Each structure stands twice: as C-alpha cells, then as structure tokens.
Chains A and B, each alone.
Chain A
Amino acid sequence: MMATKILWNIMKTKSSNIMFKRWESSEKRVAMHDPFVTQPKKNKKTYLEVIKMFEDQDNRRRGHVEFVYAALAKMKEFGVQKDLEVYKALVDVFPKGKFIPQNIFQAEFMHYPKQQQCAVDLLEQMEDNKVIPDTEMEQMLLNIFGNRGIPLRKYWRMMYWMPKFKNLSPWYLPDEMPSDTMMLAKLAIERITSVDPDTKVNVWQTEEIEVSLDKTWIVSAQSEAQKILLSEQPIDEPLVVRGPYDVYLRDQIVTYFLLLGKTRADPKDDRDPDDVSDIEKPPGIPGYIGSTKLPAVKCTVHEQDDGTIVSVCATGTSSRDSLLSWIRLLEKYGNPILSTVPVIFTLTAPPNDLSIQETQPVAQDDASEKTKSNE
C-alpha cells in the first residue's frame, strides 16, 4: 500500500519537477521575472505578446531555452495547448543558423544538446496535445537545427504517425469540441446509437412537463424499431432505468442512462447445420415473397442479453427528477405504453440533485458522480 503511494507520488510529480528545476537553475543566472504570471488576461493574444516581448528584449535570445520551457508549462493556463500557431511562435524563438552542425563530428555528437532537447520536448508536448505540425514548421526546424538535428527526426516521425492516427476512430468528432454540454451530450448519444442508423436523437426541455423540478434539457434517442419493441413490452413487467454510464469523447465524459425492457426469447434453431436434404424454398407465386408471420424471437440489435434497450438519454443534471421527466416526455412523444407500464430506477448510487458539479479530473470521478462534465 505504502509502496504504491510512493510510486504514485513519484510518477505524479516527476515531469513537472524536472522542468521546474530547469527553470529554477536558470532563474538564478538570468534573474528574469516570469512575464506569464503578470499577464492580467490569459488568452492566445497575450500569450503571443509575451513571446514577442521576449524576442524583442534581446536580439541574442539569451535564456531562450528556459523561456520555452516556461512557456510550455503555461500553455494550459492560457488555453492554447492545442494551437499550432502558438507552437510555431515558440519554435521561432530559437535563433536560426547557430545550431546547425558544421562537420560530421558535430552532427554525430549532438550539437547543442540542451537546445535540441528543448525543441524535442516542445514537439513532444504538441504530440501529447494531438497537434499535427505543418510543413512550415519543418522549414523552421531545418533553419534552426539543420537536417541532421534530432528535432527534425522527431518531426518526421510525428508526421508519419500522427496523420495516420488522426482519423482512425470510426466515430467522427469535430476538431474543436463544442463547449456547450448539450451539444456534447448530443454527440455522445449519436455515437452510442450509431449501432442502429435509424435512431432519431431529440432534444427536449423538461419545462414541457409541468410537475418537473429540474428545469433542464434532455437528449433522448430512440429508433422506430425501439418504439415498436417498447410498445410490445408486457404491461405487468416493469421497465428499468439503468445508469449512469460514462462515454468518453476525447478527454470529455458524458454520462448517459438506458431504459431497459424484457428481451424476447432466444431464437431456437435445432436444425442440423449439415443436413441439406430439405432446404427451405420459396413458393412459386410471382410477386409473393417473404412471409405472413413475424419472428417472435430476439432478432434486433437492441435486444441484448441483459434486456432490450428501448431508449437512451443524457440529461443536463443527470438527476432522478430529470430522468422522470424523460420517461414522461417519451410517453408524450409516441410511447403511450409508458403510462401503464411501471418504471423502476435502479441507479448504481443515489444521484445527488445538485445541478452541475464543479469540473473534476477524470481520475477522481467515481460512480456516484452524476455530473455531465463540461471539460
């Protein structure tokens, strides 16, 4: 137990410590104040201004490695960690020409290792933030480190792999994720319901239900097939609302809930798969195809082992009351059977009825958290 704790601490702090130490050590020598801290507004414009300030300060660019490390560390704070233009501005801080090796010995034994390592770290941070560099950046690195430089090799490797991975996910997400939680929830629900392309995603407001306490939105999805499966549920058997479950959209989490019903019996096929002596053949009447009867067994994708999923939703508050409103809204929009069938809420933990919790890091999310995370 203790050992894991220690290990965890080391892992958690190591990287920032190193960077911090570099900053610290150089601070003694250069003795400059941290311009990022003093900026009143933290956005891209001010960030670029600080870089500009540094470039204008000293045309010999003394202390630029320390400056780049500091700038990299502050990126999240300014919200520019995904911005290619900012990274290019940072690369531009390196002086051109000086670090290009002039002979094979320099090229072989890592000319200006600290500077090269700094540029590689910069590229590493880009990679972590999934920012694909462009060809202009290649030119800049070429002008700084020459074509034998380690940063160039890093760059080329990045340009080999990153575009390949960029669109590998079968579920498309826009480059910039929407900041609105409802739009995010819609994306998440669309992703979940992509198993049945006929699914319609609706956005409802709980205001439509007069008795609702939580006034929020509900993103609910149901396909025609699910409507029919729901309408054929036995009236005396209760439906179950299950959740909350998490779905990740890049680094953001959306919690969603399922409405489950009973599943029809498994299809029974006791034919001998090898016996072809009596293969079914269609009747010979032209125009008469198909059958007059429907299968009364499990045959749609919505019918899973633990129940038939008849609808999916995400609500603004994930509260029990909003889920109740969801059931009422489903009933209002084409599922009249819900007025007669009982619905049980089996949420894994009692949902707290606070509307939106503060954003918390992913690792600390536990099952009881009902928050639709914004970040």
Chain B
Amino acid sequence: MNIARQICVAHHSSVGRLLHRKFRISSVKYDSTQTSQPQVQEEKFDFEDLNVVERIERRKPKIQPFMKDVFVSIFNRELLAYPEILNKDEMQALDMRVEALDRVFSNPQKTPEERRKALIAAKMFAAPVSITRNGLAMNCTESLRYLEVIASDFELGQEISDHWVGLDALSVGLTQEQYNGIIDDLTSGNNTIALCIKEKVAERISQADFRTTAELDGQGVWRVTGEKICDRKDGYKLVLCAVDGSKIKALLVHPNSSGVTIEGPFTTFMKTPATPIELASDNQLAQILSLSRLHAAVLCRSRLKRAIHSVVEYVRPRAFAGKPLSELSSIRAIIGEALLDIYACESAEYFTAGLLDGYMEPDIELEIAMCRNFMAKHGLSKMMQLLAIPALDKEEECKHLLDDMRHLATRGESLDSINSFIALNGIHHAGKLMADEIKKIRNPLMNPSFIFKKVMANRKQEKDDPKLDLYLAEHLHPSLKQPSEQLEYCVLRMRYACETLMSRHGVEVATAYTELSRLAEAATEILMMTAVLSRASRSYCIGVRNAEMEMKLAACFVEKTKNRVKKLILDIDDGEFLNLDHFKVQFGKKVLDTNSLVVERPTARVFW
C-alpha cells in the first residue's frame, strides 16, 4: 500500500527518506533507529580520566534539533517512539531510592530536618556527581523522578533543583584541582548551591539590563559587584556576571564571603571574591543552566498534583442535594482538564529528558523552555479553577497553593521572556534555512516566476488545508490515526507561519513580540501533542496499566490543542489589524501614558 502511495515532492524531505519509504512494508511501530543509525556502545563516560567503573555511555549519535526543525515543518518521526532510557538495573536502583525518599516526603509528620537527612542518606546532594566521586551519575530522566518526589516539599524542591544545576556547571567549568577541593563540601548537603542570575529591571535609561560585573583585582582574584534576585541566605552562590563589557561569565561565591548582604529577596555583592567557572563556554553554560527550566516545570506540575489531591479530599466526603458532591459533572470536568494538562506536561518533560539522555550533543534548549512555558501558562489558570471548588472552606490552604504556583510560574524568569526565547530561537533556525526564499518573497517584482510558483505552492496553506505528507500515523498505534493527522496539520502550518512572519517583518521580526509569542505558544503545543501521542502509543502497545485511558487522554488533548494551534497560526496569518494586536497595543500605550482608564464614566454628559 505504501509503495503504491503517490510520492509527492515535498521540499523538506530528503531523497534518502523517500527511497526508504519505497521499500517499507509495514509502517506501524517500526523502530528504524537501530537499523539506520548504529548505536555507540560500551564507551566510557569521559568527563573524567579515571579508569574505574563509571556509568556506561549508551547515547545514540547526534540528531538534528527536534523542535527547531518543527519551525520549518520538518518532523523527525523516529522520535515518535517514546524514549526508553533506563535499563533494568538502573530502573530497580532508581525505584528503590525513590521509594525510600517517598516514605519520608509523603509523610506530613516529618520535619524539614528529617527530610534533609533522608536526602543526604539517598545521596541526593551528590546525585549528578560521577560515581567515582561518590555520586550517582544521575541522568536527566532520573533527576525528574527524584525531583517529583522531593517537590512535595516546596522549599527543598527548589533548593535541590538549583543545587543540581550548579553541580553540573561546576563539573564542566572548574579545573580538576578546584573541583576536587570543594566537591566534598558540596555533596555533604550542608552547603548547597543557589543560582543568582536574575536582576531587577533597570530603573533608569542609563542603566544596562544586566549590571552585575566581575573584574580581576591586583592580586588576581575575581571580585563580583552587583545586585541579584536570590533569597537564599547561606551556601554557595553561582553568580552570572558581565566581564569586559559584553562577555558573560559565571562565578562561584563561597559561603561566608565578604561583601555579601541580603535584603529580602535581593542579594547584594560588593567586591566579593569568587571562583570563576573558567572552562565552561557560554553555550555550555546556557545548556546547563537551562535545565533549571525543566525542573521548574516539574515543580509546577507537582503543585498542581497537590491541588488535585486537595480538591479530591475536599469533594469526596461532601454532598450536594442529597447526592455525593463528586457526582457533579462540572467538578469532574475541571479535575479532568487538570489531569489532561498534567499528563501532557509529564509526557513532555520525560520526552525532553529522553532526548537529553538519549543522544550525543543534544540541542534541546527549546524543548526545555517549552515544558516550562506550558506549565507556567496553563498551570496557574488550572490552579485557579481547581481551587475555586473548595475556595471558601479551605481559604488558607488555597491561598498557600496559589501563591506557591504563582511563585513557581514566574521562578527565575517571566512567561514573556521564555516565549520570546522560544520564538526567536525557532525563527533564527528557520531564518537560516529559508533566507533565500524570504529574500525573494520580499522582492516580488525581481522574482516574478518564483512568486508565481510560491502562490501555487501555498494555495493549500492559504486555504488552511495543507496537504498531509508527513505520515506520522505510520509511527503510532493505528487507533491514533486521527490525532496524529491533527498533529501533522499543526506541524505543517508552522513553516507557513514562519514564512508569513519573516516575509512580513524581514529582520524586524525579532521585535514583533506579540506575533512571536503566538508562534512560541503554537510550537509549545506541538511539542506537547507529540509527547502525548508517542507516550500513549507506547503505553498501549506494551500494555501499561490504564493504557486505554492514556489513549483517550491523548486523543482528547490533541483534539483540544489542535484548535488552539489553528487559531494561533491563523492569527499570525491575519496580521495585526485582524487579530486586533494593533489596537490592543494602542490601548495599552494610552493607559501606560496616562495611568488612568482613559474612557469617561458611563454617566458622563457633554450637554444637558
């Protein structure tokens, strides 16, 4: 059947793949990774030159960045096989540790000290450190499992997330001697690492956005000066500084260093001596630090889970009109919706972790940011809906949960900045691939024949009905055919959206923030749909408990999300006048300028 299928020329599928398609017989769950790409086996994990037993490197060779390619409607179908990273032994060890932690963390009677002790006992403070240094050499997938359990303690969850990211940065950036010198103190659990990156927004036009600086003094010691948003009192601090004007460098401030003052959520450094993280390049640093985004998503999700539990506990024993309150369909629907979001985010987190652990040199900053973005965007509104159920009876708990969620949703950075990060990276990638085309589109009279061809090629896109030629259904369970086609539709629209944006704004696209945030949201939803579909398909195929529920969740989620993506991309296509951005921006400007609601009261008269 597949051989007989008409092969059309799609601009972004390679010849090799087409040939490959010709000789395919069955399309369902065909794992071609192993045949097409040889696995690298038995290679030592070599960030150290120690020849003792170290965790075995099982990662596959590098692949093209997944979500960046989606911006130009290239979809790596191999990834629809949900990643399976851990082997049997690792899984058992992981489960054991998680269980031990869970006993302590799920018991509300335990004090924070006892929890901390449990963390130390389970070597959690040393988890990312290599086995030869008495760590666990934890990979990202494992870290998410641990964090899920630890996250039930709001403070500890955030602390350990920062600590893990900090340890990763140190292991890359410090020299062997420096690293050996402090690693024991760091893994003891007494002093953790806090990330000091975010700064206050500039208050004057003469202030740069990023103001903390580091410079070498006479004795060759780096000194940090500036103010950061960081409320941790003790422990190490990883401070991001500007060096020589425009370069960025991370420096480690040791506990009890001079010149550190803490005021509320702000920490001020005044010529504080610090150890530079010399060896890490900007790129490496960005990759490592961006992991904190993934952790933030997990933390958010755990708060939402907590809220669901709280609501269930509230609803179960209560009654309404002589029947159990839980029979009210509106309450059930709200909880169901929250479950959809949790399911989607969980799938995407482990999917991303799988990409990170499964391939060499992963380029997954976008995927990580998207997980964070999704949870921050939907988490808060879902939380509000959930908490509206017991709102009056459980005032204190609701306030607490909501505030925690708000704190996490804006932890480290705002939704806007993540959105613009996602969109700009995507557009950057798309721009590289589509530069020639865009140049011609923007100069139509110089390239009449091209424009004519373009109009012909785009006519299905203009009608919002792209030709589905990615055949994603072949890589999923057959009963997910319809959702997979919806995903396919969304993926195929992305290139058109990027093309529209870039041909409309040219280089200025980098400042079209309202449109970019739409693009970012659409891409985020696509990652979620992909992860959800591949997870559900995997679960159903291997017979995981409640897999049929997962299939329904997946189908529901994709159905719901497809409409959102469709709307977002149609809005991009419409432009600022039809999607009303132009007017909203003007209204906003008026209000910002006058700090009033501009309009007169409805009772105002001009004459009598």
Contacts and interface: CB of A to CB of B under 8 A. Distances in A.
A288 B210 contact: yes
B607 A225 contact: no
Contact of A289 (B204, B413, B507, B593): B413
B425 A281 contact: yes
Contact of B286 (A134, A166, A284): A284
**From B205, B211, B293, B427, residue with most partner A Cβ within 10 Å:** B205
Contacts of B425: 281-282, 284
Contacts of B555: none
A285 B593 contact: no
A291 to B, nearest CB: 6
Interface stretch (A59-67, A117-125, A267-275): A267-275
B198 A283 contact: no
Interface in B400-452: 412-413, 417-418, 420-421, 424-425, 427-428, 431-432, 434-435, 438-439, 442-443
A16 interface: no
Nearest to B243: A292
B443 A274 contact: yes
Contact of B292 (A225, A228, A286, A294): A286
Nearest to A276: B431
Contact of B421 (A135, A163, A228, A284): A284
A276 B369 CA distance: 23
Given A272-B507, A276-B431, A285 B289 contact: yes
B502 to A, nearest CB: 5
Contacts of A285: 197, 240, 248, 285-286, 289-290
Interface string B155-184: 000000000000000000000000000000
Contact of A280 (B195, B510, B593, B594): B510
Contacts of B417: 282, 289
Contacts of B421: 282, 284
Given A197-B593, A272-B507, A279-B509, A290 B210 contact: yes
B197 A228 contact: no
A277 B431 contact: yes
Given A228-B204, A286-B292, A288-B197, A279 B210 contact: no
Contact of A224 (B204, B508, B593): B204
Contacts of A280: 424, 428, 510
Interface string B498-516: 0000100011111000000
B448 to A, nearest CB: 17
A290 B204 CA distance: 14
A293 to B, nearest CB: 6
B607 A159 contact: yes
A286 B442 contact: no
Contacts of B205: 224-225, 228, 294, 300
A236 B448 CA distance: 57
| B interface secondary structure, majority | helix
Contacts of A289: 209-210, 413, 417
Contacts of A284: 286-287, 289-290, 365, 369, 421, 425
A280 B432 CA distance: 11
Given A276-B506, A292-B210, A292-B246, A287 B282 contact: no
B206 interface: yes
Interface string B200-212: 0010111111110
Contact of B509 (A159, A276, A291): A276
Nearest to A196: B593
A187 to B, nearest CB: 16
Contact of B606 (A167, A197, A277): A167
Interface string A193-219: 010010000000000000000000000
A288 B594 CA distance: 31
B23 interface: no
Contacts of B432: 277-278
Contacts of B47: none
Interface string B582-608: 000000000011110000000000111
A273 B443 CA distance: 11
B289 A275 contact: no
B245 interface: yes
A41 B282 CA distance: 84
Interface in A133-167: 133-136, 159, 162-163, 166-167
Nearest to B433: A277
Contacts of B507: 271-276, 279
Given A285-B289, A290-B210, A273 B508 contact: yes
A281 to B, nearest CB: 4
Nearest to B211: A292
Interface string A224-237: 11001000100000
A132 interface: yes
A293 B208 contact: yes
B242 interface: yes
A225 B207 CA distance: 11
Nearest to A228: B206
Contacts of B508: 273
A172 B507 CA distance: 39
Nearest to A132: B607
B418 to A, nearest CB: 8
A294 B245 CA distance: 10
A167 B606 CA distance: 9
A82 to B, nearest CB: 14
A288 B248 contact: yes
B35 to A, nearest CB: 34
A284 B418 CA distance: 9
Contacts of B246: 291-293
B8 to A, nearest CB: 27
Contacts of A288: 197-198, 210, 240, 248
Contacts of B428: 278-281
Given A163-B607, A197-B593, A287-B412, A282 B424 contact: yes
Contacts of A287: 195, 197-198, 240, 412-413
Given A285-B290, A291-B210, A293-B246, A276 B412 contact: no
Contacts of A279: 424, 427-428, 431, 507, 509-510
B416 to A, nearest CB: 9
Given A159-B607, A292-B245, A286 B290 contact: yes
B147 to A, nearest CB: 16
A273 B198 contact: no
A201 B595 CA distance: 17
Contacts of B289: 284-286
A256 to B, nearest CB: 21
Nearest to B296: A286
A277 B290 CA distance: 25
Nearest to A131: B607
Given A281-B428, A285-B248, A286-B412, A276 B435 contact: yes
A315 B10 CA distance: 73
A300 B286 CA distance: 32
A166 B608 CA distance: 14
Interface in A156-195: 159, 162-163, 166-167, 194
A279 B432 CA distance: 8
A289 B240 CA distance: 12
A286 B427 CA distance: 19
A281 B432 CA distance: 12
9 contacts: A135-B607, A276-B427, A278-B428, A279-B509, A284-B365, A286-B293, A288-B197, A290-B208, A292-B245
Given A279-B510, A281-B428, 20 more contacts: A135-B608, A136-B608, A163-B607, A167-B606, A228-B204, A228-B206, A273-B507, A274-B442, A274-B443, A276-B435, A279-B424, A280-B428, A283-B282, A284-B289, A284-B421, A285-B286, A286-B293, A287-B412, A291-B246, A292-B209
Interface of A: 132-136, 159, 162-163, 166-167, 194, 197, 224-225, 228, 232, 271-294, 300
| Chain A to chain B: the 3 pairs with minimum beta-carbon distance, closest first | A290-B209, A277-B435, A284-B286
